[in-house]
Amino acid sequence: MPRPEPISFRRSTLGGDVYEALKSLVLEHRLSPGDRINIDALAREFAVSPTPIREALARLESDGLVRKRPLAGYTVSPLLTRAEFDAMFEMRLLLECASTRWAAERADAARREAISAEAATTVASEEDDPDGWHAAFTALDARFHDLVAEASGNDLLRDGIDRLHAHLHLHRRYFPYAQAGATLEEHRRIAAAIQAADPDGAESAMREHLTRARERHLPAFD
């Protein structure tokens, strides 16, 4: 897959910008699972020194998106095996059902409104934006789940959910756009239950969403 146009970074946010740019390369499979990462080549491509590249890779290793091996350097983490994928969704069911229940119980009015607004957001179709819809849909999905986790009031739970999502997004290159509408409708049902301060309804809606999301990703293993 061709690389995007050269990226310009602001000095004041250099470290964070390089991290986000590298993360995008991994999640978009411009750096594919299993690829060896050439720090010097990336530094030249981004027109930065190797230091912010190394710092970004250390963060991505913490996220589980890259791996570091002695004498071999960094490689992009492989896609999850079927067993690892199933284990990830078991963890998501445990963590995200709890976070959604707590969001419905604890969220203030501003956070409820933010979740509802995000759930109402749509993305361009694959026909209208063949190069950008995947990134837009992935970002939208990540923001929605993060807003729900934030509204739970438990920062450790939010961090754990964020790390699980990083692994899922590696599989999103195989996600069929035809299923995006179902995902967004499930988000709206979750948001409505949180807005109504209905913990049972919110937890049930999230459980249904995650169960169906798992099914939508299974073709990646065929």
Quick one: pLDDT band at residue 132, thresholds 50, 70, 90?
Answer: low
CA 30 distance to own-chain centroid: 16
Residue 57 one-letter amino acid: L
Check residue 65 and give its pLDDT: 85
DSSP labels for 152-219? TT-HHHHHHHHHHHHHHHHGGGG--GGGHHHHHHHHHHHHHHHHTT-HHHHHHHHHHHHHHHHHHHGG
Sign (positive or negative) of CA dihedral 188, 94, 198, 201: positive
Residue 1, pLDDT score: 46
Express each pLDDT in 158-190 by its tens digit.
Answer: 999 988 887 776 666 666 666 788 999 999 999
pLDDT in tens, 81-131: 899 889 999 999 999 999 999 999 999 999 999 999 999 998 766 666 666
For residue 198, give both structure tokens.
Answer: 């209905």
Length of the chain: 222
Residues of the chain with pLDDT > 90: what percent? 57
